[in-house]
Structure 1
Amino acid sequence: MPELRMIDAGEVRLRAAVEGQGPLVIMVHGFPESWYSWRHQIGPVAAAGFTACAIDVRGYGGSDKPQPVEAYAMEHIIRDLVGVADALQPGEPVILVGHDWGAPIVWNSAFTRPDRFKAVAGLSVPFAGAPTRAFTDVFRELFTAKGIFFYQEYFQQPGKAEAELEADVRRFLRVFLHSISGEAPAGAWPLKPVDSLLLEGLPEPERFPPWLSEADLDFYVGEFTASGLRGPLNRYRNHENDYAFLRAWEGKTLDQPALFIGGTKDPASTLFGQVADPTAMMRQFAPNVEGHMLEGCGHWTQQERPEEVNRLLIDWLGRVR
């Protein structure tokens, strides 16, 4: 079992699950997840000769939870990863692995701090370079202006999504996690009016597939019942801040070795249908990327397909260490 420890990352203290010895691999989860999302990767990565460190991102689990929305801007979270790297292996180049929101976090950390991060792997969400406009502008053009619900628009107003999701954390997690998994039926994420609630129209799963046991769900429910959802949702409220920060890197490429693993049933892997081949798209912005799409895999990549992810990830880690 990994050791749970608190790490002083500078601005905040982060809880991390740490196991093994060797080059440091920091694993960064997405929404609504936890260090526990990497439970199938920590041991194998450690056994392959690395220090595996899966963090709770600020706002989650046992990590500090600043109140201001702007405390969750990408610039601050990149500094958190630098702080973890400096605390655990000062002066040594570090490898990053991220999933869902963790993928943009690790892509942009490697992109803006190549001095600290020597290789980077992203699951589910491909890297598309420095943004040319804020993502709020993109989804408002594609969805909101057409009267169509988009979850990130719904998350923008502080308190609104918190009220719906915190009212029944277990139901939120069961329905949301199922709705974009590989087992979800066609149409599980329906088009609906812009003023809908997040869970409205999403199917109730009769049971979860083996990749998420009742004990796993109990762990997540306990984490979010204790921590609330303000911090996790605040990450979505910083698109304008992130755009302003990342403009300084416009036109530059991410040149370190990179790995992308997506799923053919994951809407995020094709940027909601905007990209036919995410790896080919990425090569414009990260020329040293190799990519893999897992057939039938939904959004929760490393939890749905742990053996495939571990095989690809550990092979790649062995080549970039």
Structure 2
Amino acid sequence: MDNLALLTIGVTLLCCVLGVAGLHAYTSGRAQRDALVERLSNTGQLSDTGRGRRFAAFDRRLRRTKYGRKIELKLAATGLSLTPGEYVAYMLGGVVALWLIASSVLASFFGPLAGLAGVWAANTFLNWHRAKRIEAFIGQLPEISRVLANATQAGLALRTAIGMAADELEAPAGDELRTVSDQLAVGRSLDDALSELAERLPSRELVVLVSTLILSNRAGGTVVSSLRNLTDTLEERKETRREVRTQLSQVNTTAYAVPAIGVGALLMVDQMLPGALDRMTGSLGGQIAVVVSIGLYVLGFVAIRRISKIDI
């Protein structure tokens, strides 16, 4: 009986020790997994000010959806220090604020319209930042081509030349090439890394540069001469794009001035005749007239933007 009691106590103690060890291993592994997921999903868990990311739980759930992955790719192309969760939360807050402001200042009918305008403005904000980053990257393409040509002429491999260009060039070219260099360092092929770069920052100039590098890497051709010729071509296209953008600046300003005039007219009418917007949108005919007028302003904005859009 004494031996049985001792055996039972020993087995119980052993189970307790194994249970504690297993619980410790589980909690530490779970913490390491969460830290790895956060590090891989967020480009930098802390911002420049050292604060933690906001809406972390909402961000993790959003990234699992198709819409979240689409937002994540778009944010990666803009270079903004925002997570998809932060962007969507700020957008929803802005939509609610615009809804309340339009309902109180103008009329309750304009609340949903202002909310839709807030969603459009948030998407336009991302597209504008993306286009701005692409333009800045295109402006650095001649320098990228020149640095790669000099590095390959000195006998360096193309992978090494990309890493050296990432260290020498400023943002956004330096950041994007650093991403390509990091992908190459972990075993991704040069074709996949450069193709992802061209997909992230779509432009004809970058597609030409990427195609030149990929074909030269596959066929083993003369990379230096190809990059030299490409540098001259990119310089000419850069000057052409600058001239076209200067010529179309007035047209682009007119496109944004047209809807601004409409909003200003509504505010002026409401100030001159208090309650006029409530009476106007209180009937079905007035609501239809407002929707049609807004549609015409949107149509004019889109038409002017399409006319002024010139592919080079």
TM-score class, shorter-chain normalisation, is: under 0.3
- Superposition TM-score, scaled by structure 1 size: 0.23
The TM-score, its normalising length taken from structure 2, stands at 0.24
By relative contact order (CA 8 Å, sep 6+), the higher-ranking structure is: 1
